[in-house]
């Protein structure tokens, strides 16, 4: 069997390292580690000591400590490979990742390939120094995995150094066909310098939640990190709930850089490394071009005629404040100043980077609100610069619609309640903007490093930079976050309501239909997801007005209301639904395209999921998978119907909308996941679709989830 070879670009002494299939080949050198400053102490561990001299002990890689002047530290995943085994492999995402098409299925692997994969993903192929590597031949080795150093605001307060306390990036890879870049990361792989008082492990419970939800969120067309594999380890992990089985998730994203990566340099006043990180994100993450010197010079000559020449010893040029206006030529000559518009602002590559981050964050959170997703811990260290949903902890999907729902019982003040999420994203973007003010405020002079250093060394001059950035930042947040969020949210909700594509969105769809309907759902404890599935069955037929269709209205309301609510408040619910349903009915009959009940239903059911990874579903999967793991480890010979449960539920997460079939009783067997249509026409995914059981309503999780 031939292994792919590569050399680590993150050390001056490259190490030839075999990577066995089915894992994709690494990028060499690693773009991230070869571009950004490393924790020097961890780098020294990999260097061969002087003749007879002492070496830095390897234990420093997993010793919690303060890390300075670095974006990352080299670490060694803890070897948990003994008696570890693969619980689930995501073959659908493996294809996206660029895995060899002949190695997508577990049935296509040799026993040796399976063993190598488990070993690599559980730390059994951990890095050794170049000297030690030469004397070792017991399996494939990855070159210098790393953990990120970052800070962050937690529940509104800056918390100092945080970092990857239990996440370790293995390597980067590139899909040769698509050119997409990906970074493989292990969660639960042991201690790092950022573990603080924690053990660096992950329990099976939290690993299952992240493994499934990342794929479910992605299937709902919301930007997310992805899942490649989940493994069971023999590690016994102590948590508040007691001793739990350990697990490792291999999760993947194009980049794991967060808002907090910028914050730690900002609060440490490390402007040099803050700029290095910003340069990396602009060039390598967003592929933004360098600012054109000629363009910047032309802009300066055209718009800054009254500024003095650009030398490091020159007085401070006039820089526009947020509320200031540009002086006229007469004012420059001593005449009274007249009101005029502010000076034009130059948006350099760092402002364009912030535009990208704001835009992507708006798309992400509009998706959350449209699909009823609550993140639970929207700290700035959990915010991706790529606008990806990351760090799945105490998340939840809405059961009954409640805009004030708090899914994290550690969030005692409701800071991250469902309705708060767009505002919190905006607040978090404000924290990120604070770190970039000097770079954005320098505008077309951002590459005059001596000049910029002079400004930053003088508090008064630095304040001018910050004030110059404010108008740019406010404009970006208005146009690239607020406007993008509203536009994308309305697009998503119109599609969920069956009111057509983006070109058919109307202002009254929001004011007369959506907002009143959500308020009605809140008042009558309507299940958020079932609302849209049942609404898809509403038929206008030949009825021109709602009054001609009241029998259907009553049937719809009865299906939507919980039985006890229908019995006590059914008549009021029907009456109060008239306002938004009348507008909805009228909106449909005005369009020949929307009036086709079957086509409208089909389109709605392709974006409103039949299967939802609710907390009660996740809990059932956790319980049954945990029991299956126990049986496997005890060598039980009894039949285990849950042995492939994770694979089956993963398929449901990736295909949550059901299958259209002609016959209500037809059953299809797809990848061992049974998909049916019951006699009401609703696609049923076994036991995990249907009314939320009483015990499963409103389940909350904690930050340790």
Angle among Cα 703, 704, 705 to the nearest 5 degrees reads 90
Coil/strand/helix, residue 676: strand
Coil/strand/helix, residue 568: helix
Cα 441 from Cα 430, distance rounded (Å): 15
Cα 490 from Cα 484, distance rounded (Å): 10
Backbone angles phi, psi at 245, to 5 degrees: -70, 140
**Among 291, 381, 399, 411, the one annotated catalytic:** 381
Q: Where would I find the H helices in 328-371?
A: 329-332, 349-371
Cα 76 from Cα 59, distance rounded (Å): 9
70: Cβ–Cβ under 8 A, 6 or more apart, which residues? 37, 38, 39, 40, 149, 273
Cα 579 from Cα 298, distance rounded (Å): 58
Give CA separation, 424 vs 325, 355, 374, 492, 668, in Å.
32, 17, 12, 20, 43
Burial of 541-573, coded b for 16+ CB within 10 Å and e otherwise, reads: eebeebeebeebbeebbeebbbeebbeeebeeb
| DSSP assignment of 449-464 | HHHHHHHHTSHHHHHH
Which residue do the tokens 């919190």 mark? 424
Tally of CA atoms within 13 A in the half-sphere of 259 that contains its CB: 28
Is 381 tagged catalytic? Answer: yes
Find the Cα–Cα–Cα–Cα dihedral 417, 386, 506, 587, rounded to 10°: -70
Cα 456 from Cα 419, distance rounded (Å): 39
Residues serving a catalytic function are 381
């Amino acid at each position: 069997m031939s292994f792919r070879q590569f050399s680590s670009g993150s050390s001056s002494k490259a190490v030839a390292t075999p990577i066995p299939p089915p894992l994709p080949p690494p990028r060499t050198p690693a773009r991230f580690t070869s571009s950004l400053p490393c924790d020097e102490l961890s780098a020294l561990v990999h260097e061969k000591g002087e003749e007879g001299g002492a070496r830095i002990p390897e234990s420093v890689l997993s010793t919690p400590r303060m890390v300075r002047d670095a974006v990352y530290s080299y670490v060694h995943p803890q070897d948990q490979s003994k008696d570890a085994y693969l619980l689930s492999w995501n073959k659908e995402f493996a294809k996206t990742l660029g895995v060899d098409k002949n190695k997508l299925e577990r049935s296509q692997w040799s026993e040796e390939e399976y063993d190598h994969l488990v070993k690599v993903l559980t730390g059994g192929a951990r890095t050794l120094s170049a000297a030690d590597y030469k004397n070792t031949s017991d399996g494939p080795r990855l070159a210098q995995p790393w953990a990120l150093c970052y800070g962050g605001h937690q529940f509104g307060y800056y918390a100092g150094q945080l970092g990857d306390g239990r996440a370790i990036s293995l390597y980067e890879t590139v899909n040769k066909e698509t050119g997409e870049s990906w970074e493989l990361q292990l969660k639960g792989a042991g201690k790092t310098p950022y573990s603080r008082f924690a053990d660096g492990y992950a329990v099976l419970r939290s690993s299952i939640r992240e493994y499934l939800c990342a794929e479910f969120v992605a299937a709902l067309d919301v930007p997310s990190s992805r899942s490649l594999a989940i493994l069971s380890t023999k590690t016994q992990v102590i948590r508040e709930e007691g001793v739990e089985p350990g697990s490792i998730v291999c999760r993947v994203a194009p980049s794991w850089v967060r808002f907090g990566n910028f914050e730690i340099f900002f609060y440490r006043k490390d402007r040099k490394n803050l700029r290095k990180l910003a340069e990396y994100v602009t060039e390598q993450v967003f592929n933004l071009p360098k600012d054109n010197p000629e363009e910047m010079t032309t802009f300066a000559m055209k718009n800054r005629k009254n500024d003095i020449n650009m030398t490091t010893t020159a007085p401070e040029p006039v820089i526009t404040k947020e509320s200031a206006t540009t002086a006229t030529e007469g004012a420059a000559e001593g005449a009274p100043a007249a009101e005029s518009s502010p000076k034009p602002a130059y948006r350099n590559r760092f402002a364009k980077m912030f535009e990208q981050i704001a835009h992507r964050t708006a798309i992400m959170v509009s998706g959350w609100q449209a699909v009823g997703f609550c993140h639970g811990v929207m700290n700035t260290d959990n915010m991706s610069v790529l606008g990806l949903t990351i760090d799945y902890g105490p998340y939840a999907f809405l059961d009954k619609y409640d805009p004030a729902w708090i899914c994290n019982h550690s969030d005692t003040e409701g800071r991250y309640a469902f309705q708060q999420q767009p505002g919190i994203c905006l607040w978090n973007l404000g924290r990120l903007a604070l770190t970039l003010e000097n770079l954005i405020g320098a505008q077309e002079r951002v590459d005059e490093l001596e000049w910029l250093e002079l400004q930053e060394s003088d508090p008064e001059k630095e304040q001018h930079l910050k004030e110059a950035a404010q108008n740019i930042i406010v404009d970006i947040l208005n146009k690239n976050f607020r406007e993008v969020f509203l536009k994308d949210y309305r697009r998503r909700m119109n599609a969920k309501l069956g009111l057509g594509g983006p070109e058919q969105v109307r202002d009254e769809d929001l004011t007369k239909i959506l907002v009143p309907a959500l308020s009605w759902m809140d008042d009558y404890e309507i299940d958020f997801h079932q609302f849209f599935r049942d609404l898809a069955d509403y038929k206008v037929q030949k009825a021109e007005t709602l009054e001609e269709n009241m029998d259907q209205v009553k049937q719809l309301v009865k299906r939507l209301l919980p039985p006890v609510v229908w019995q006590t408040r059914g008549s009021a619910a029907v009456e109060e639904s008239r306002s938004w349903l009348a507008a909805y009915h009228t909106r449909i009959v005005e369009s020949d395209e929307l009036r086709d009940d079957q086509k409208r239903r089909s389109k709605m059911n392709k974006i409103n999921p039949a299967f939802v990874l609710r907390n009660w579903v996740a809990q059932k999967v956790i319980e049954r998978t945990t029991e299956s793991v126990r049986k496997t480890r005890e060598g039980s010979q009894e039949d285990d119907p849950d042995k492939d449960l994770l694979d089956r539920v993963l398929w449901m997460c990736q295909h949550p909308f059901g299958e259209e079939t002609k016959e209500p009783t037809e059953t299809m067997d797809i990848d061992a996941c049974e998909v049916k249509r019951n006699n009401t026409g609703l696609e049923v995914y076994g036991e995990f679709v249907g009314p939320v059981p009483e015990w499963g309503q409103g389940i909350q999780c904690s930050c340790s989830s």
